[in-house]
Chain A
Amino acid sequence: SQQGEEDPQALSIQEGENATMNCSYKTSINNLQWYRQNSGRGLVHLILIRSNEREKHSGRLRVTLDTSKKSSSLLITASRAADTASYFCAYNSGNTPLVFGKGTRLSVIA
């Protein structure tokens, strides 16, 4: 399977703490994207990082990509209760549509 794997499957933290989620994949990629999904809703695109980039920031989000380890991480700093959601990585390898991982369920406790 080319499917990505997020780690951990579930994460519970206190408001104000940082949350780190990891994604591993098995093939070479063109780019990797992170999405957020609130319970029972559609996904919302957060950030895209290309294979020749190592780090990208967007507000409180920081994404890193290590193509040698075939892994990416999403860091949410100073988390808020509203950040509670599932987070998915998605990537493509140039000959397939986007492949989504199983996701990390983040709970931020106020």
Chain B
Amino acid sequence: ETGVTQTPRHLVMGMTNKKSLKCEQHLGHNAMYWYKQSAKKPLELMFVYNFKEQTENNSVPSRFSPECPNSSHLFLHLHTLQPEDSALYLCASSQEFDYDQTYEQYFGPGTRLTVT
């Protein structure tokens, strides 16, 4: 195990539902990330939090809303999603975030999201 946990592991939701994904890291890291991995597409960075402050929002639609209450927890709140949002959502953490990116990232197992 990498020290990063994600719940739930699988989620099926309708387009009108509201749900949340949770990520927790037990590594004492200060940076946390949300990625989206769709079939046959590269891993897409969605959000980065460094010391609880959002430092990157990679043009993500507002139906995805992140929340980072402390350095150990990261949430992704979902509402009125589209079928094309179905994907594996991966959380990661690293010691810190900077643009030199010398810190390796530790990934959770992901949440497989299906939007019907």
Contacts and interface: CB of A to CB of B under 8 A. Distances in A.
Interface string A9-39: 0000000000000000000001101010000
Interface in B61-116: 88, 90, 92, 97, 99-102, 104-110, 112
Nearest to A93: B99
Given A3-B42, A42-B2, A42-B90, A98 B101 contact: yes
Contact of A100 (B2, B40, B43): B43
B104 A48 contact: yes
Interface residues of B, number: 27
Main secondary structure of the interface of B (DSSP, over half): loop
A95 interface: yes
Interface in B11-67: 33, 40-43, 45, 48, 56, 58
Contacts, number: 65
B57 to A, nearest CB: 11
Given A97-B45, A100-B42, A100-B43, A42 B101 contact: no
B110 A40 contact: yes
B90 A92 contact: no
Given A3-B42, A42-B90, A102-B42, A31 B48 contact: no
Interface of A: 3, 30-31, 33, 35, 40-45, 48, 50, 88, 90, 92, 94-103
